[in-house]
Amino acid sequence: MKITAVEPFILHVPIGKHIEDSVNRVDVWGLPGCVIRTDEGVEGVGYTSTQLGGDAEIHAVIRDAYAPVLLGQDPMRTRALWDACYWSSIHWVGRAGITAMAQSAVDIALWDLKARALGLPLWRLLGGHKDRVKSYNTDGGWLNLSVDELIRQLGALLEAGWDAVKMKVGSPDPRADVQRVRAVRRTLGYGFDLMVDANQIWDLGTARKVAPRLEPYEITWLEEPLAPDDVRSHALLQQSTRIPLALGEHIYAPVAFRDFILANAVQYVQVDCTRIGGVTPWMDVAALAHAFNVNVVPHHADMMRVHPHLAAASPAAAMIECILWLQDVFVEPLRIERGVFHLSETPGASTAVRPEAFARYRVA
Ligand code: MG
C-alpha cells in the first residue's frame, strides 16, 4: 500500500456557548488536520485542536513539510514515517507547538488508516487493555460561571452519573478560588472526586500559598499550576503540598515527561496525543509512566477522538477527561453511560468526519 494524497483541512466548529478559564476564552473550536489516502482506497483522518490561533500555520506545515515526505510511502510504517517527518526540512525551526501539532494530526491519520486497513478499532490494535474507560467531566466547572451556576452545573453532572468533576481556578484574586471550592464542597458534599485546574496562571509563590488552602477540600489533583516546561518549580510546589500535581497537556517531547517524573514533579500525566506528536509518542509516554507507577489521564475525549482508544489500550490510563462539544462532527457516535466510555468496535480511530460537517464547518 502506498500513500497517494495528504489533504490538509481546517474546521471551525461553534461549541454552542462561551466558556472561560484563567487564560482561555472559547466560542469556536478549531480542528486543523488531514485526510491521508492510499492506492488501495483505505484512508485515515487525523486532526489537532486549537482556539483558532495557529490553524493556518498547522495547515501549511502539513501541506508543505510533511505531505512531500509521506507521498509514495507505506502508511503501515508509522514509526519510520514519524521519524521521517520529525527530521524533515522543518526540524530546524520546529519540534514543538505548530510543528508538533501538525505532526500529531499526520500520525493520528496514519494510525486511523492502519487500524482501518487491518479491520480493527485502534484500541484493539494497540493491545486492548480494557473495553471501557471511566471519565471525569470538566464541562460544568468554568471560571466564568457564578458560584451558584457552578454548583448547579457540577450538581447536574453528578446527577447524570459522573463521580468525578473538574473546576477551574486561577481567579484574579486567589481567595476567590478557595471560596469557590469551599462552596462546591459545602453544597455538593464529598461523595465525588474534585479536581482543580489553574491553566498555568500562577507563579510559584502564588501556587505555594493557594495549594495548602485547598487541601481541606479533598482535591484529587491540582492541574497545570505553573508554566508547563518548568520542572524545578513543579517539584518545589509538590514538596509544599499534599495535593498531587497533574500536567502534560502542553508538553511536546516525551523526554520532558521523564524529567518531570524523575523530579517527583507530577503524579498525573496528562499527555495529549494531539500535541505530543500523535499516537506513536503517546504510547511511549504511557509506557514510561506505567514503569514509574504514575497515572495517565489524557485530555478530553470528544475534541480528541483518539484519546478513548489510547486510554483503553494503556494499563496506565484508568480515566479520561470528558467535554462533549463536537458531537455532530464525527461519523461515529460516542457511547457514554453514567460517565463511562464504551469503546467502539468500528475499525479505525473514530476520527472520520461526517461529510455534512465538512461542508458546514470547513474553512480551508
Ligand atoms: Mg487543563
Examine the residue annotation and report whether 18 is marked as an active-site residue of this protein. no
For 170-189, the pLDDT digits (tens) are 999 999 999 999 999 999 99
Share of the chain above pLDDT 90, in %: 97
pLDDT beyond 70 at 302? no
For 93-118, the pLDDT digits (tens) are 999 999 999 999 999 999 999 999 99
Q: Output the pLDDT for position 299.
A: 87
- Say if residues 280 and 112 touch (Cβ distance below 8 Å): no
Examine the residue annotation and report whether 2 is marked as an active-site residue of this protein. no
Q: Which structural domains are found in the chain, ordered by start?
A: 3-119+354-361 (3.30.390.10), 124-342 (3.20.20.120)
pLDDT beyond 80 at 312? yes
Q: φ and ψ at 299, to 5 degrees?
A: -55, 175
Q: How confident is the model at residue 330 (pLDDT cuts 50, 70, 90)?
A: very high
Q: How confident is the model at residue 121 (pLDDT cuts 50, 70, 90)?
A: very high
Give the global pTM: 0.97
C-alpha of residue 249 to centroid of ligand 1, in Å: 7
Q: Output the pLDDT for position 40.
A: 98
Q: Output the pLDDT for position 300.
A: 81
Question: 3-class DSSP state for residue 25?
Answer: strand
Greatest C-alpha distance within the chain? 61
pLDDT beyond 70 at 81? yes
For 215-240, the pLDDT digits (tens) are 999 999 999 999 999 999 999 999 99
C-alpha of residue 351 to centroid of ligand 1, in Å: 22
Which candidate in 59, 114, 168, 300 is catalytic?
168
Which candidate in 299, 300, 307, 309 is catalytic?
299
Q: How high is the mean pLDDT of the chain?
A: 96
C-alpha of residue 168 to centroid of ligand 1, in Å: 8
- Say if residues 221 and 243 touch (Cβ distance below 8 Å): yes
Q: Output the pLDDT for position 309.
A: 97
**Grid cell locating 56:** 493556518
C-alpha of residue 192 to centroid of ligand 1, in Å: 19
Closest by CA position to 233, among listed 245, 220, 216: 245
